[in-house]
Amino acid sequence: MTRAWTTLLAFAVFAGASGACVDLFHSTDFATLCDVDASACGDGGVEAGVESPSVCAAAVFTQARSVCARLGACLGGTGSTRYGECLAQATLAYDCTANPHLRPRGATARGWSCLASATTCAEVTACVFPSGVQTCKPAAGGVYAACGNGINASTLVACGDSDTPVAVEPCVLSGRTCSTVDAVTNRGACTGASGARCNAGAKATCEGTSAVACERIGSAPAFDVGIDCATLGAGRCLDGAEGPACVPGDTASACTSERPLACQGDVVTGCVDGRTLTLDCKALGLACVPPPTARGAWETGAFCQRKPDAGGACDPLTPDTCSGTRLVSCLRGGEVTLDCASVGLDPCKAGAGATSACTPVDGSRRGP
């Protein structure tokens, strides 16, 4: 099962109890830079001329653990912000040795950079909600999920029986946006640029900078599970024989002909637009395992999975849980645990809507 499927399916399970919801959030509208000045935005609404900070870390594992644990503790984790999946994505973002060619750029780089410097819940919250926490309209009897308003629109917000979100997923961290994927319930999801406006069964392809792959997950309406390559590497999408690919950055070494993604030991390798692409799955404590279906080199991280014969197998759809004071999560099919005290947080605690996380030392479960 690929990363996109596990992440999106996990959120579908989390939000599956939602009833029909309309007018989901309190009306709080914020203008984005693109709303105010269209000339400030490049292709796909990405702000032009805005620096992409380097997010390379000296102590990758320590930083990734801290970022993901604090994100869950302060705002609640779901989908790609569940601790295990967040740990995988954060490691690839911060490890410039294991992932040298598809480095985060633009808003994705700024998101990971902001979270790397956040040490309090107020700072974590400011990274996710720059203009203030998205408030919810309480819903009795379950949890619903929708995209935020205004400048919060790229963040998926899960709401329960209070006006405070029970979990969030900043879609930009995975190179996606937030879209409404079910017009009946107004349910949102982190999607590719086409959102629900795509043709199920159509061949995956590049549309501008975006790798568009329209798929139906379970009984949900079809939507785009691709990513915007503007957030990675050279910032370009290129159609190849295997499907759309994000072009590696300028530091990648030259290669002579297109080569589909393949495993060399535990390293994913390929050749895209005359540039070598590599990704070392060992940095995540995982093996290189070819996915059942090749969908293009935009999904390089999908090759990093638990070895089929390794111990500690788990279902990637399982929500995070607590085992005593420790947080337990699933990392690409393998169970991982976190001693909350090791990252300066209080013991694990179960939250609303099937979310569990470490607890901030000030006792607050959500927000500043």
What pTM was estimated for this model as a whole? 0.86
Average pLDDT, the chain: 83
Ranking 22-26, 158-162, 207-211, 218-222 by mean pLDDT, the lowest is 22-26
| CA–CA separation, 304 and 259 (whole Å) | 18
> Is 14 a residue whose pLDDT tops 90?
no
pLDDT recorded at residue 83: 97
Single-letter amino acid code for the residue at 167: A
> Is 39 a residue whose pLDDT tops 80?
no
pLDDT higher at 99 or 216: 99
| CA–CA separation, 229 and 364 (whole Å) | 37
In the structure, what pLDDT confidence band is assigned to residue 240 with cuts at 50, 70 and 90? Answer: confident
Share of the chain above pLDDT 90, in %: 59
253-275: string of b/e by CB count within 10 Å (b at 16+)? eebeebbbbeeeebebbbbbbeb
pLDDT higher at 20 or 136: 136
**Cα 313 from chain centroid?**
22
Comparing C-alpha atoms, which of 180, 129, 175 is closest to residue 155? 129
Residue spans of the domains in the chain: they are 3-30+59-359
pLDDT recorded at residue 363: 59
> Is 366 a residue whose pLDDT tops 60?
no
State the DSSP string of 127-186: HH-TTSPPPB---TTS-EEEE-SGGGTTEEEEE-SSSS-SEEEEGGGGT-EEEEEETTTT
